[in-house]
Structure 1
Amino acid sequence: MNLKLLLGLKRLTDYKSESRRLSKQIARIVGALVCSSLIFTAVFVGTPRVASMPQAKAAAPSTLRNAAIVATTVTILKETSEIRELAILRPVKSGAQSRTEIERMIVRNLDEQTTPAEMHATELALKKLGLAPPEFQYRPFVVKLLTEQVAGYYDPKAQQFYLADWIELQGQKPVMAHELTHALQDQHFKLRRFEKWPKGDSDAELAAHALIEGDATLAMTLYMAKNPLIALAFIRSLGGSNMASDQFKQAPRAIRESLVFPYEQGSEWATRVYKRGGWASVSQAYAKLPLSSEQILHPEKYFDYETPVKVALPELRTMLGTGWKRIDYDVNGEWSLYLILDQFLNASAESRRAAAGWAGDRYALYEGSKPGDVFTVQLTAWDTQNDAREFFDAYAKRTWRRYPNSKATEITSGDDIKAVNATAQIPVRERHDWQTNEGRVVVELQGSRVLIMEGIPGNADTKALSKASWQ
């Protein structure tokens, strides 16, 4: 991914020319450092950072360590407040935590915020869409990833900043600036309101976290620009090019890129908003939240406040046969659709073009009583019929590569094809139908919408499922 914090652009900041001396490679390192789990940012709007640093010095005794963190917190909070233009409304408590304390906190908060059923549904969806291998176990992976990554965070519940007690303090000041920006956000914008996001629109939740993390990453970047010696100490503390833990490097691509999204794309978005109206405009975004990953990827759509189209799908479990149940019902959004496409197209520009033009979507995930019985249905809406056609073609290409041994049982095209929904004004222009070793796959285009069904069980009526989904 191209991590661009746009440090060198003219008039990005009022600070002196230090900002132009920070290279894009430094910006890339900054972006990699503040990666964290999307699940976890729902709990700690702060940034877990890389803990595996070979040059870290032995930690000081806890009392001295805590005293040093408290004193440094006061200094950096004051400077961050000036950079971010948010007044300090109250002091921020801070302290050190051991690795055991941080690991215990991770598991506790993960269990509080995410049910086993939700973790199971995410794992099944990743596997069904080909985004993770069949043997992948999501929850154990996330726990291990976070215990490796987290070395500092701001907890809105306790209104306290914590830094790991095994990492040398001097090189961590930029991370503290990032986390203390979260403390200032919390004082002014009440971050706990983002902890219990309504279910059913993960894309809007992702956009909100991109605002929060993009804001903090931009503030951190400007802090580094103002303090180049601290920035150099920070970079030296990384231990060369070892920017991420082994667990992060081993993560499926879709997970890695999703973890980075709030920081990379979020900081690019925050920079655009900042250049348009300064920090006041960024602050105003907490009252007028970005509504979708599309608005983050295309800031002009946020400025126009283009509202996503609401898309609904009916309950289909009775049409799938006995023993089926719906276990997820959510919105993918432009970013997730891009990841689904590019996992197999492996052509970023093509995948981004195909996912652009997104207007709205809805997907549902169903699980049967037998192992391996998984069915997904996606109904996507697009700005124009041309946008829909481009996505339809890309998804068909992706499906051929996703199921290389599949057999195409039906490929139809032409404006004379009858609409699946008899009351529709626009006919289905094209339909692809494959038989795969994971069930039947159908992709249909109708006007400015595309319907995708994967894993249709053999005893199900495909035409009836299609008709019901279009209605």
Structure 2
Amino acid sequence: EIARYQAQAANVRGLALRREISIEKETREQMRASFEKELAKSDNREYLSQTELLLRQFRLLPRETSLSALFLELMTDQVAAYYDPASKRLVAVSEPPPQASDAPRVSREVPGMECFVYVHEFCHALEDDHFDLERLMRESSRDLDGNLALTAFSEGTAVLAGLDGLLDGYGVPMTSASPFAAWALGLLGRVDLEEASEQLEGTPPFLTAALLRPYLDGTVFCNRLRRDAGWGAIDRAYTRRVPATTAEILYPERRYLPGFQAAAFEPDPGLLREATHGVSVNRMGALGIALWLNGDRLAAPSRHSFLKGWMGDCVYFLKGGRQEVQTVWLSLWERPAMAHAFCRAARRRLRDAFEDTPVAVQRDGARVTIVWGCADAAACERLMACARRSRAEAERPGWLASVVRDLPLPLRLLRYPAFSSGVELLGGWAAEAHGGEDFFRGTLACGLLRTEWNPDRHAVGAAWGLVSHASDRRADYTYWQLPLLASWHRRGSGEALRYRWRVLGGALADGDERRVRLLFVPVWRDR
């Protein structure tokens, strides 16, 4: 069975496993020991230490809570399987997660969940084999934003692969790139996580969202690329330009597809002189800012519309004697109005969480500076004056270009270098056409006519899906439908061949590889 899941993952991703991976079972205690060993590595210790400092300074982690201990507990309790890129092994838990007696049982008792989990993890193994996930993970651990961005990208591809494996197991003529499935997955970016807080009770809301949101937002991002250009677009992203910021994940049309480099900050020399015991530097990023602004709520980042204007941010933790830390947070925005909206939201958040410490907030055009952790208000203002002399460099669009991008223009001509160009009429509701490297997609009147093709998928349709044909090379299926008359689809080949057909929706006749019925009466069965 596990070999079948591995073959499914290889077929869906179009990548062959070039090396053997060890497949093992561990108890919860053994898994805990494995995680402890992983967290003890110097790179992971350094990342957790820097992230813990950030969370404490932003009042997101209680003083008495250790981030590494909390993370270890969460991983031990919640993980059903994992792939370790260092040891090249895939490990599944041999016992269910501990749950309260009145908690709903959701793991492998959900139909197909075992298939989803294994295909998901085999996808990680395949991508590590071809694109060196271990190196990418090490490079992304320089700051919180970069780590969340890579997590979103790698988990997004694995979620899509797992879903396609699940749909294959159900035998339905659909993949996550099919129009309805792609539309439904696109809604994940707007999903709140309030129910998740009940299952992760006791976990700080920021950490809960930081663990779960990359799966949702990463799935939306990856399907945006894969929906147009097939899995080859994901492969090219791995080899050419992996998303380095969560702004690229959340706003691909605005950041990733046009090409984006986050703002570079150069602190004023006087700022660094304040740090008598060293400086720690980090970056919150668009997703981190959204989660911080949410406070105890687990709302989606889309609630903060100004975040699409994030151009970069940098947090300096200036360490002094007696474990004192002064925080200087610089951020740059696409235009002054977006910086002003961020300022208002940040002031509200600071009033709620920083009543006991002096805080200074200042906006200079499209740049925002926030300072806290000083001995008194006067010291805060002196540090602010120094911080405002810091420099920020970024390729920002002009004010008019930025405003026009947000206007609901009736006609838009879109061009994304190295990916696609296209046209949209009335926001794509009336008509749209997009073409790029090895793909084309066009629709008229939201599906009155529709055509798409890329190396993985070919589809044509009319009358909003009443007449349609689709074939997917990776999922190995073909589907035909004639309005109200008949439908037919096939999956697999040889011994794995499955097919199903219906006439008049099955009322007149229907059948598959095992049986045939006329007027709901069985007339043939494969013995």
TM bucket by the smaller chain? Answer: 0.5 to 0.7
Residue 227 (structure 2) pairs with residue 272 (structure 1)? no
Check the 8 A contact 1:154/1:179 in 2, yes or no. Answer: yes
Pick one of 195, 202, 214 that aligns with 2:156: 214
Residue 271 (structure 2) pairs with residue 303 (structure 1)? no
> What is the rounded CA distance, in whole Å, between the counterparts of 2:79 and 2:31 in structure 1?
8
Q: Secondary structure at the match of 1:181?
A: helix
For 2:71, the equivalent position in structure 1 comes to: 142
Question: Structure 1 residue 350: deviation in Å?
Answer: 8.2
Pick one of 1, 22, 27 that aligns with 1:93: 22
Check the 8 A contact 1:148/1:245 in 2, yes or no. Answer: no
Q: Secondary structure at the match of 2:139?
A: coil
Question: Structure 1 residue 280: deviation in Å?
Answer: 0.7
For 2:95, the equivalent position in structure 1 comes to: 166
Q: Secondary structure at the match of 2:373?
A: strand
Q: Secondary structure at the match of 1:311?
A: strand
> What is the rounded CA distance, in whole Å, between the counterparts of 1:245 and 1:383 in structure 2?
33
Check the 8 A contact 1:344/1:398 in 2, yes or no. Answer: no
> What is the rounded CA distance, in whole Å, between the counterparts of 1:223 and 1:325 in structure 2?
52
For 2:351, the equivalent position in structure 1 comes to: 400
Question: Structure 1 residue 252: deviation in Å?
Answer: 0.7
> What is the rounded CA distance, in whole Å, between the counterparts of 1:213 and 1:345 in structure 2?
23
> What is the rounded CA distance, in whole Å, between the counterparts of 1:147 and 1:376 in structure 2?
33
Superposition map of 1:308-323 within 5 A: 308-314=262-268, 316=271, 318-319=273-274
- Structure 2's unaligned 5+ residue stretches are 97-107, 173-194, 390-527
> What is the rounded CA distance, in whole Å, between the counterparts of 1:77 and 1:224 in structure 2?
13
Superposition RMSD on alpha carbons, in Å? 2.9
For 1:249, the equivalent position in structure 2 comes to: 201
Superposition map of 1:20-419 within 5 A: 72-114=1-43, 119-167=48-96, 171-197=113-139, 200-228=142-170, 248-287=200-239, 288-300=241-253, 301-314=255-268, 316=271, 318-319=273-274, 324-326=276-278, 328-343=280-295, 352-370=304-322, 373-403=324-354, 406=355
Q: Secondary structure at the match of 1:95?
A: strand
Question: Structure 1 residue 445: deviation in Å?
Answer: 0.4
Q: Return the structure number with greater strand share.
A: 2
Check the 8 A contact 2:205/2:296 in 1, yes or no. Answer: no
Question: Structure 1 residue 225: deviation in Å?
Answer: 1.4
- Structure 1's unaligned 5+ residue stretches are 1-71, 231-242, 407-436
Instruction: Normalising by structure 2, report the TM-score.
Output: 0.61
Quick check: which has more Rg, 1 or 2? Answer: 2
Question: Structure 1 residue 223: deviation in Å?
Answer: 1.1
Pick one of 386, 407, 427 that aligns with 1:468: 386
> What is the rounded CA distance, in whole Å, between the counterparts of 1:331 and 1:227 in structure 2?
41
In structure 2, what residue type is equivalent to 1:378? W
Instruction: Normalising by structure 1, report the TM-score.
Output: 0.68
Q: Secondary structure at the match of 2:261?
A: coil
Check the 8 A contact 1:317/1:366 in 2, yes or no. Answer: yes
Structure 1, residues 39-92: CA drift from partner, whole Å, max 9, x if none?
xxxxxxxxxxxxxxxxxxxxxxxxxxxxxxxxx221111112112222333443
Check the 8 A contact 2:291/2:301 in 1, yes or no. Answer: no
> What is the rounded CA distance, in whole Å, between the counterparts of 1:456 and 1:221 in structure 2?
50
Q: Which has the higher contact order (CA 8 A, sep 6+)?
A: 1
For 1:449, the equivalent position in structure 2 comes to: 367
Check the 8 A contact 2:47/2:141 in 1, yes or no. Answer: no
Q: Secondary structure at the match of 1:132?
A: coil
> What is the rounded CA distance, in whole Å, between the counterparts of 2:363 and 2:127 in structure 1?
44
Question: Structure 1 residue 460: deviation in Å?
Answer: 6.7
